[in-house]
Structure formats: structure tokens, C-alpha cells
Amino acid sequence: MPGDSFVDNCGVVLLLFEKPTGFTIFCFYGIHLYRPDALEVVWLKEFQTFDDKSSAIGVGSGVSRQLAEMIVKWHRPGQTLVVGKREYKSIIESSLGIPCLHDEIVMELTWGMQRFMNRLVRKEKSELPNEVKEQSVVTASALFNCDALEEKEDLALRTFSEANMPDVSGIESKNWGALKLATAFKIICTHEIGDADEMFSKDVQSKLLRDADGYRG
């Protein structure tokens, strides 16, 4: 169980978060990862910029000295490191021997943090070109509309999944987050897994594809 890895260090885990100019280390109580208020209980430990961020971590290159020292500085024995990318999990575990966690809940958390990053890390501020500022306004508007739509449709989506998935595919979706529910619904409608390969097990993927037509009506 994911919660088992949160027992050591009083349940405090680390989060490695990637930003456009570098990496940030956050701390939070691991149990809050599975609560809706997860973003309210993270606190900043360190932010570093990288001259060449692309070489900081990679499948062939491993973890750079700068990033490794940053992680090791804050990591404690037995502590879990939460990472926002699946490939980072295997690279860090093999290079540094530090246990990492990456799943759909982590993806939702990091997506939410992207929206509030200026509030969480005030150090990274720069003057943006006008066209970037305009794009930021458009993006913010789109996110607001997405939030409004999610709030409106969440109940309908959950009602659909909880009423149909157990009977049609034998899948229990009661504890799924909104992102996972919407992704499953997309698979059913399009008959394609798309970029959701890491979100569902192979068994769930095959069931959604196999039974897609059974959800019609």
C-alpha cells in the first residue's frame, strides 16, 4: 500500500518538482497526498536554478551532481521521494538508491501545483514578454473554465462510473480522482488508450477497451 511508505520520518515525504529553470524540493505529510487539501500542507525546502536543466536527469546520464546533492541534502533514511515523472522514479532509484513514488494521485498533485507555483516559490520571478503575458491570461481563463466545468460535471461522471463500471467491466472506481475518471471515460468513447498508459494497469486498460461498446446508452 502507498501509505506504508509514509510511516518513517513521522510521515514526512519529499517532493521533487520540476520548474522551467530548475528543480524544487518540497516537504509534506504523505498521508495528505490522498486528501483533497494536499496543496495546503506543502512547504518549500529549497529551489535551485540549473544552467543546463536538460542534463540534470536523464535515462542515459543518470542524476547530475548538482541535483543529486540537492536531493541527498534533504533526504532522510527510509524517506519516500515523490516525483512528477515516471522515468524520474527509475532513474533516481537506480542512481541514488532512494525509494520514489509516482502514480495518478501524484500527477494530479503536480498539475495543481503548476497553477499555484508563483505562490509556493516566489524566488523565480522574471519579466515576461507581452505575448507571454497575454498567453498566460488565456491559459488562466481556460483553467478557470475547466475548473467550473469539472465542478459541474463531477457528480454526473461519478454517477455514471460507479453505476456502470462494476457491472459492465467489473471495475471498482469509487476512490478514483476526477482526472482518472475522465480519462477512463475518454478511453470508452474513443476506444484508444492514448497517453493514459501509466494511469491504469494493463488489466483495467483491456477491460475498458473490451467493454467500451457495453456503455452505449
Percentage of residues in the chain having pLDDT higher than 90: 17
Query: What CATH number is attached to the domain comprising 104?
Result: 3.30.420
Residue 161 in this model has a pLDDT that exceeds 50: yes
Residue 190 in this model has a pLDDT that exceeds 80: yes
Residue span of the structural domain in which 101 resides: 2-126
Domain boundary among 101, 126, 151: 126
Confidence of residue 128 (pLDDT cuts 50, 70, 90): very low
150 and 196 part of one domain:
yes
56 and 30 part of one domain:
yes
Concatenating the DSSP letter of every residue in the chain gives -GGGGGSSGGGEEEEEEEETTEEEEEEEEGGGGGSTTGGGG-EEEEEEE-TTGGGTEETTTEE-HHHHHHHHHH--TT--EEESSHHHHHHHHHHH---EE-SHHHHHHHHHHHHTHHHH-TT---PPPHHHHHHHHHHHHHHHHHHHHHHHHHHHHHHHHHHHHHHHT----TT--HHHHHHHHHHHHHS--TT-TTTS-HHHHHHHHHTGGGG--
pTM of the shown model: 0.50
Domain boundary among 66, 96, 126: 126
11 and 110 part of one domain:
yes
143 and 200 part of one domain:
yes
| Residue-level pLDDT at 63 | 94
Confidence of residue 64 (pLDDT cuts 50, 70, 90): very high
The count of domains in the chain is 2
Q: What is the mean pLDDT of residues 67-72?
A: 95
53 and 114 part of one domain:
yes
Confidence of residue 66 (pLDDT cuts 50, 70, 90): very high
11 against 132, higher pLDDT: 11
Residue 131 in this model has a pLDDT that exceeds 60: no
Q: Over the stretch 73-110, which tens digit does the pLDDT of each residue have?
A: 999 888 889 998 889 999 999 999 999 999 887 887 77
